[in-house]
Amino acid sequence: MTRISLFLLAIGIVLGSSTAAQAQDDLLSLLGEEEVTDYTTASFKTTRVVNLHSLENTHAGVLDFKINHRFGQLNQGVYDLFGLDNASIRLGLDYGITSRLQIGVGRSTYQKMLDGYLKYRILRQSTGKVNMPVSVTAVAGMYVNTLKWANPDRENYFTSRLSYAWQLLVGRKFNDWITVQLAPTLIHRNLVPVRAEKNDVYALGIGVRQRLTRRVTLNAEYTWVAPDQLNARYRDAVSVGFDIETGGHVFQLHLTNATWMTEPGFITETTGDFLDGGIHFGFNISRVFTIVKPKI
C-alpha cells in the first residue's frame, strides 16, 4: 500500500470517527431536548408561615407533629414576667395522604377548641415541560368550641359551637431567597358575640419568606380584615419571626399580636396592639415522622 493510500485511509478513519462522534452527539442532543417538568420546592420551611398556612404540604406518608405555643403579652409587665407566666397552646397532627392532599387535626387551649382541615394543592409552580408561574393551594377547616355552656339552663345548640374557614393560597417563590403568598380567606361563625358582628368575615393574608442562610429564614405575615365586620376592639394580626431547620425539626420563633392559633381566633379575635406592646413571644415546633415509605 502506497503512502498516498495510507494517507487517504487515515483521513477516512478520522472523518469516519468524527462523523460517528457527531452522530452520537446529535443523538444525545436530541435526547436532551426532551423537556421535563421541574417543580419548585421549599417555598417555605414548613406548612405554616407563622399562623397562616403556607404553600407547602406534608409529603405523602409523612406525619408532622406540631406544638404551637404563645406566651402572654409583653406589656403585662414584671409581675407576669412580661407574659411568660401565661401561655396558650395548640397541639396538632398533619399527615400527607398524597403529594397533593394533606389532612390535619388539632386541639387548642383557646375555647378548648378542636379543629380539623383539608389542604389540597391545585397547582404547583414549575418550569420546563409544564411552565406554571405560581402555586395554588386550597384549605378548608372546621372548628368546634368545647367549652361548657355559659348558661346550661337555656336551650343550647351544638351548631352554635361550630365555625369554618376557607382559604386560597396563591404564591410564588421568586428565587432561592424570597417567597410571597396571598391568602384570601372567608371565616363563617354560626354564633357571634353581638349582632353588630358579621357571621361571615372576609380577610386577606399575606406571607413573606426571606432566606438568610441555608437553615434560617425570616418570615412575616399580615392578615387584613375587611372593615365593618368585627367589633372595633379587634385588630389585624401581625407576626414576624425566624424559622430554624435542624434535621427533622423546624423551630419557628416569632413575635405576634395574635394569641390564638386557629383561623377563627387569630383572624377575628386578635386584640393586641403590636405598636403598644400587645405582643406575644411564641414558638412553633415541627417534627416529622415517615409513616409510609414511598415506593421506589
Residues 36-46 pLDDT 10s: 888 888 899 99
In the structure, what pLDDT confidence band is assigned to residue 67 with cuts at 50, 70 and 90?
very high
SS3 call for 237: strand
If you average pLDDT over residues 219-248, what whole number do you get? Answer: 90
Dihedral, CA of residue 259, residue 261, residue 267 and residue 273, to nearest 10: 20
If you average pLDDT over residues 72-76, what whole number do you get? Answer: 79
In the structure, what pLDDT confidence band is assigned to residue 32 with cuts at 50, 70 and 90?
low
If you average pLDDT over residues 158-177, what whole number do you get? Answer: 94
If you average pLDDT over residues 172-197, what whole number do you get? Answer: 92
What domains are there in the chain, each with its CATH number? 46-290 (2.40.160.40)
The three cell numbers of residue 205 are 393574608
Closest CA to 102 of 145, 55, 40: 55
> Cα separation of 92 and 49, whole Å?
15
Q: What is the pLDDT at residue 13?
A: 38
> Cα separation of 252 and 106, whole Å?
18
Q: Are 141 and 164 contacting, i.e. CB atoms less than 8 angstroms apart?
A: yes
Lowest mean pLDDT among 8-22, 53-67, 133-147, 166-180: 8-22
Is the pLDDT at 286 greater than 80? The verdict is yes
- Backbone phi and psi for residue 109, each to the nearest 5 degrees, phi listed first: -70, -30
Between 79 and 257, name the one with better pLDDT: 257
What is the rounded average pLDDT for all residues in the chain? Answer: 86
In the structure, what pLDDT confidence band is assigned to residue 210 with cuts at 50, 70 and 90?
very high
If you average pLDDT over residues 36-65, what whole number do you get? Answer: 92
Question: Which residue, chain included where needed, has cell 404563645?
Answer: 70
Lowest mean pLDDT among 142-146, 204-208, 244-248: 244-248
In the structure, what pLDDT confidence band is assigned to residue 27 with cuts at 50, 70 and 90?
very low
HSE-CB at 114 with a 13 A cutoff on CA atoms is 5
Q: What is the pLDDT at residue 11?
A: 38
Q: Which amino acid is at 127?
A: T
Largest Cα–Cα distance in the chain?
118
Lowest mean pLDDT among 23-37, 153-167, 182-196: 23-37
Kindly state the percentage of the chain with pLDDT values over 70. 88
- Backbone phi and psi for residue 124, each to the nearest 5 degrees, phi listed first: -130, 130
If you average pLDDT over residues 124-136, what whole number do you get? Answer: 92
Q: What is the pLDDT at residue 296?
A: 57
Could you give the residue ranges of the DSSP H alpha helices within the chain?
3-32, 263-268
In the structure, what pLDDT confidence band is assigned to residue 273 with cuts at 50, 70 and 90?
confident
Q: How far is CA 142 from CA 17, 54, 263, 283, in A?
A: 70, 18, 10, 23
Q: What is the pLDDT at residue 23?
A: 45
Q: How far is CA 17 from CA 4, 14, 24, 55, in A?
A: 20, 5, 10, 53
Strands 200-211 and 216-225: antiparallel
